[in-house]
Amino acid sequence: MKKFIAVLLCMVILAAGAAFYITSLWTQSPYAEDQNYLLIGADIITDVEEPLIEDGNILLSFKTIKKYLDSNVFWDDKVQKVVFTTKDKLITMKTDKLTAMVNQKPFDLNVPARMVDDVPYIPIKFLEDMLNIQVNLASNRIAVIDYNKDAVIMGELMVNKGLKRDATIFSPYVTKPLKKEDKVRVFEQVGQWYKVRTADGIIGYLQGKYLNITEATIKGPPTQEPDIEPFKPDKGKINMVWEHVINKNPDVRKLKPIEGLDVISPTWFAVVDGEGNVANNADMEYVEWAHKNGYQVWGLASNDFNPDITHEFLNNTDIREKIISQLLIYAKLYKLDGINIDFENIYVKDRDMLTQFMRELYPLCREQGLTLSMDVTFISGSANWSQCYDRKALAEAVDYMAVMAYDQHWATSPKAGSVAQYKWVENNLKRILEEVPEEKVILGMPFYTRLWQEEKVDGKTKVTSKALSMGKVQSILDEKKPEVIWDQDSGQYYAQYTEDGVTYKIWIEDAESINLKSSLVHKYNLAGAAAWRRGFETEDIWPVIAQNLKETDDYSQWAQANK
């Protein structure tokens, strides 16, 4: 009996030794000895450049970061600068500089971004909080990144056991036997197997019967300051108007208070050249008048509607930074409450760069307590005037988007028609709301219309027009006394008269048409309404807008009656 037990014991020892030997022979390491590797979670990343690992510092290629960590990261090859943006942070790094800029403030780096074989590499540890990741070294050639949003599930080996390459018993091993009580991170279950990662960065499969799950936690996002809420009026919806300033600001002693107004946006700033110089027409006296009357002031900045200048400054990171710095300085100097960006007539090829500009401006506005809004047109086939806006992406980089719901028939239109027909406004608004959240949309309305002239020239009808304020239209109606009829399709009164062989047509913007358009704000639960421009309205307009934007009970009754 003793002899049998001795033989059996020898067989067990031999079997164990053989198993260990076979396991060692049948082990296929996933890593070459002369290469660095990046692991993201339980995946070995092989379709991008390998990481640089130097003295414990990890640098990832721009392509790696853009594909796996931040799709919005931007590289400017002209100035050798990488740009990261979130709602609250703007981080820039230039190659070979040991200083990064975080919201335009300097921060020291352990290692700089740099170019290697024409590929930009960026130190990643510095960006952990911004990207909500954890960065570690599993060995001197294996970099590991984990998303904080992923649950951390840990397990402990119950026996000495190696990891398999695949979830089958016939798969080769990727490790020699791990020791009992060694810890691994668990990622997923595949049948009776678990996909795990060892402390030294080996990824493989282990049968569940050999693993004891010990804990599961979620780190989650880093602790942040309370979210900054954009401006909202105490009552109802935002009531905004643009103030058209060319060279001289209005005399505030002659300005009357405006019923129900929340925001006034003067056209004070313009980028006037490709070098990013910003012209300034701001007036502190005007700001003081507005604040005294309870209005926020959102300074408007335009691109002079020049596509060539715009192309030049949008495509240079340093110049974009220069423009943003000027706007922020002016906002602080004149105690502005917000900035309204009115960039129009932009090449379609610059569409993404326009979005990048807004991404870079947004976190800095938030840090300074400024509400950021942007003006866009309705969606149309026009390249420079509509397709240049990526409205869905832009909506993520602004507090509000003011939709300029006018110029249905523009100044040089070959056909006479309404500036903003009610049905045209509503139908196009619905299209906008497919891309932009309703709570960010401000509906732009016209305080002007056009007097159209049609005359026969060489057998053809020549169409011309000129823009008129509401008051000027009323003067013409009083003088010419044409028949004025209600046009159901346009939601406007229409007038027509003939003089010296020329036919004149007017689709009238007045309290009735503005009442219809402003009622869309509550109908579609928009953020508010804005009007172009102050001084073009008649006095009866403001009570109508105020009732639609502020008197929600009255609107509810109206909506109920008009179901």
List, for residues 334-346, the tens digit of each pLDDT value. Answer: 999 999 999 999 9
User: What is the DSSP secondary structure assignment for residue 218, as one 8-state letter?
Assistant: E
Place of tokens 């823009």: 467
Residue range 451-491, pLDDT digits in tens: 999 999 998 999 999 999 999 999 999 999 999 999 998 99
Residue range 137-172, pLDDT digits in tens: 999 999 999 999 999 999 999 999 999 999 999 999
The enclosing H or E element of 75 equals strand 74-76
Cα gap 167→280, rounded to integer Å: 67
Lowest mean pLDDT among 46-60, 220-234, 283-297: 220-234
How many CB atoms within 10 Å of residue 446? 26
Mean pLDDT of 257-285: 98
According to the model, what pLDDT value does residue 224 have?
60
Burial code (b: 16+ CB inside 10 Å, e: under 16) for 215-233 equals eeeeeeeeeeeeeeebbeb
Task: Output the average pLDDT for the chain.
Answer: 93
Taking the CA atoms of residue 482, residue 487, residue 493 and residue 494 in that order, the dihedral angle to the nearest 10 degrees is -40
> Looking at the predicted structure, is the pLDDT value of residue 18 above 80?
no
Which pair of tokens denotes residue 380? 């149309």
> Looking at the predicted structure, is the pLDDT value of residue 554 above 70?
no
Mean pLDDT of 308-312: 98
Mean pLDDT of 526-539: 98
Per-domain residue ranges for the chain? 37-146, 238-446+510-561
> Looking at the predicted structure, is the pLDDT value of residue 20 above 90?
no
According to the model, what pLDDT value does residue 210 have?
97
The enclosing H or E element of 323 equals helix 317-333
Q: How confident is the model at residue 8 (pLDDT cuts 50, 70, 90)?
A: low
Share of the chain above pLDDT 90, in %: 89
- Report how far Cα 499 is from the mean position of its chain's Cα atoms: 52
Residue range 171-224, pLDDT digits in tens: 999 999 999 999 999 999 999 999 999 999 999 999 999 999 988 887 666 666
Residue count of the chain, please give it: 563
Which pair of tokens denotes residue 524? 């579609």
According to the model, what pLDDT value does residue 28 have?
85
Cα gap 304→306, rounded to integer Å: 5
Backbone angles phi, psi at 23, to 5 degrees: -60, -40
Mean pLDDT of 14-22: 47
Which option is the CATH number for 37-146: 2.30.30.100, 3.40.50.1980, 3.90.1150.10, 3.30.457.10? 3.30.457.10
Q: How confident is the model at residue 226 (pLDDT cuts 50, 70, 90)?
A: low
- Name the nearest CA neighbour of 286 among 326, 327, 323, 337: 337
Edge-to-edge strands, sheet with 484-487:
460-469, 448-457, 502-508, 492-499, 484-487
- Name the nearest CA neighbour of 255 among 550, 449, 542: 542
Place of tokens 């089958």: 168
Backbone angles phi, psi at 215, to 5 degrees: -160, 160
Which pair of tokens denotes residue 260? 């129900």
Share of the chain above pLDDT 70, in %: 92
According to the model, what pLDDT value does residue 562 have?
45
Q: How confident is the model at residue 280 (pLDDT cuts 50, 70, 90)?
A: very high
According to the model, what pLDDT value does residue 12 have?
46
Q: How confident is the model at residue 122 (pLDDT cuts 50, 70, 90)?
A: very high
Cα-Cα-Cα-Cα dihedral sign, residues 223, 225, 230, 235: positive
Mean pLDDT of 374-401: 98
For the chain, what is the total number of helices (H) and then of strands (E)?
14, 32
Cα gap 121→115, rounded to integer Å: 6
User: What is the DSSP secondary structure assignment for residue 154, as one 8-state letter?
Assistant: E
According to the model, what pLDDT value does residue 231 have?
97
- Name the nearest CA neighbour of 72 among 271, 355, 486: 355
Topology classification of domain 238-446+510-561: TIM Barrel (3.20.20)
> Looking at the predicted structure, is the pLDDT value of residue 5 above 70?
no
Which residue type is seen at 72?
A: N
Q: How confident is the model at residue 6 (pLDDT cuts 50, 70, 90)?
A: low
Which residues, in sequence order, are bridge partners of residue 544? none
> Looking at the predicted structure, is the pLDDT value of residue 370 above 80?
yes
> Looking at the predicted structure, is the pLDDT value of residue 21 above 80?
no
Mean pLDDT of 295-315: 98
**Contact call for residues 111 and 59 (beta carbons, < 8 A):** yes
**Contact call for residues 30 and 44 (beta carbons, < 8 A):** yes
Cα gap 507→491, rounded to integer Å: 9
According to the model, what pLDDT value does residue 260 have?
97
**Contact call for residues 314 and 308 (beta carbons, < 8 A):** no
Cα gap 197→195, rounded to integer Å: 7
Mean pLDDT of 109-133: 97
